[in-house]
Amino acid sequence: MFSISEMQRLMQPLPRDQFQTLVERHQTDRHSKGFRSWHQLLVMLSAQWSGSTGLRQAVEHFNTHKNTHYHLGVGPREVKRSTLAEANAKRSPQLFADVAKLLMNKVEGRAARKCRGLLFLLDSTSITLKGREFDRWTLSNRTQHTQGVKLHLMLEESRSAPVWHSVTAANVNDCSEGMKAPIQQRATYVFDKGYCDYNWWHSINERKALFVTRFKSNAAVIVDKDRAIPKKARGEIVCDQQVRFKNLRPRGGKVNNYDKPLRRIEVAREGKSALVLATNDMKSPAAAIAQMYRDRWQIELFFKWIKQHLNVKRFFGRSEGAVQTQILIALIAYLLLVLHKQASGTTKTLWELLREAGAALYLRRDNQNELYRRRKERAEAFAALQPSLFT
């Protein structure tokens, strides 16, 4: 009897032929001498799922299970630490960016088939990189508060799964990078006031999508009318107004293309000033829109999760390529867990699945269960043949 290992099970959403198509597109195996991109991906994924914190630990953990390498599509030879380090530093991380995009499309496709009113959350997080070798390429792009790189991400709220990503220098503006994210019709996009660009809001509206964000304190608007607030929402919603921008031609020669009505909703906060929301959703209740903005906290929890449970803080290499590769493979590891959870229908959390994977990554559970059953049957048959001591 043959059964696949836990790692093979986790890798099922990424067929080898699809990965090979991307390899050929980026020519990452062009000068390979046995250690191919698929091999590199497996070792780095194994390191993420097993919690390895360094090159030596990652390589030793992978080499310990050489008997399973054949079934993963790689040879039985040992991986050298220097070989993995060189591959991470010199191979283009764009291959793994496209692998992450491929898996994100699968997550987004399944989500779109299940529901129409999708909610997407957009934000970024900084990853600090200071010290020897890091300073060589991060100092010139540092900001007042951050030195390192920035991960821009769009999260599908119902599954807490990324559907778009970008890794940039720390000084890249959130809004200018966020504009590159794809927009779907009838979906709702939630982001904070760091993404305040009225012309981008206009483009979202033109694509028949919705957005929920915050007005800046100096936003010049004209109130067209006050909307009625339901009695049950009056403790939460301070006001609900239909507004339009006062200036379509602000200073500096700029043009504001957003000439359609917006909603301005003030949400009460205990001990703080009211939260002033902006949205082009003219139909949903104000309380529902306020809840959508609260749901934006889920992307903060996502960033916290990957930084706590996957390795995106201690890097195996200090070059820009090695850092980007490790961040991207951490995203791939997360996406494979999400797709495995969806396919299996399990109610376990991603953290529980990650812990199980780390403990039994190369085990074939069905084989182990079958061996246990056979040993138990033999023991029971042997015991039945023995004469009783007390007859």
Per-residue pLDDT of the chain (391 residues; tens, 9 = 90+): 446 788 999 999 999 999 999 999 999 998 887 899 999 999 999 999 999 989 999 999 999 988 888 888 887 778 999 999 999 999 999 999 999 999 999 987 765 555 557 899 999 999 999 998 999 999 999 998 899 999 999 999 988 899 999 999 999 999 999 999 999 999 999 999 999 999 999 999 999 999 999 999 889 999 999 999 999 998 899 999 999 999 887 766 678 899 999 999 999 998 889 999 999 999 999 999 999 999 999 999 999 999 999 999 999 999 999 999 999 999 999 999 999 999 988 899 999 999 998 888 888 765 445 444 566 667 667 667 766 554 4
84 in the same domain as 14: yes
pTM of the model: 0.87
Q: Can you give the pLDDT at residue 67?
A: 81
Residue of 199, 242, 244, 236 lying closest to 219 (CA atoms): 244
CA 79 to centroid of chain Cα atoms: 28
Domain hosting 242: range is: 210-283
The helix (run of H) or strand (run of E) holding residue 376 is helix 365-385
Decide: residue 230, CB within 10 A, 0-12 exposed, 13-18 middle, 19+ buried: exposed
What is the 3-class SS of 106-128, one letter each residue?
Answer: HHHHHHHHHCCCCEEEEEEEEEE
Q: Can you give the pLDDT at residue 371?
A: 47
Q: Where in 53-172 does DSSP place strands (E)?
A: 119-128, 148-156, 161-169
90 in the same domain as 19: yes
Q: Can you give the pLDDT at residue 31?
A: 80
Instruction: Give how far Cα 284 sits from Cα of 128, 240, 288, 354, Å.
Output: 40, 12, 6, 38
Is residue 372 helix, strand or coil?
helix
Residue 219 lies in a domain: yes
90 in the same domain as 20: yes
Residue 242 lies in a domain: yes
The pair of three-digit structure tokens given for residue 382, joined into one six-digit string: 């042997």
74 secondary structure, DSSP code: S
75 in the same domain as 14: yes
Residue of 362, 358, 348 lying closest to 309 (CA atoms): 358
317 in the same domain as 255: no
318 in the same domain as 278: no
Is residue 173 helix, strand or coil?
coil
What is the 3-class SS of 262-303, one letter each residue?
Answer: EEEEEEEECCEEEEEEEECCCCCCHHHHHHHHHCCHHHHHHH
The dihedral region occupied by 186, where left means phi > 0, alpha psi between -120 and 50, and beta the remainder, is: left
Q: How many residues does the chain have?
A: 391
Residue 262 CA to residue 244 CA, distance in Å, equals 6
Q: Can you give the pLDDT at residue 1?
A: 41
278 in the same domain as 320: no
Task: Say if CB 82 and CB 75 are below 8 A apart.
Answer: no
317 in the same domain as 279: no
Task: Say if CB 259 and CB 245 are below 8 A apart.
Answer: yes
Residue 261 lies in a domain: yes
Residue 202 CA to residue 274 CA, distance in Å, equals 25
Instruction: Name the domain count of the chain.
Output: 2
269 in the same domain as 321: no
Residue 179 CA to residue 230 CA, distance in Å, equals 35
Q: Can you give the pLDDT at residue 112?
A: 56
Residue 254 lies in a domain: yes
Is residue 241 helix, strand or coil?
strand
Residue 334 CA to residue 48 CA, distance in Å, equals 9
Residue 60 lies in a domain: yes
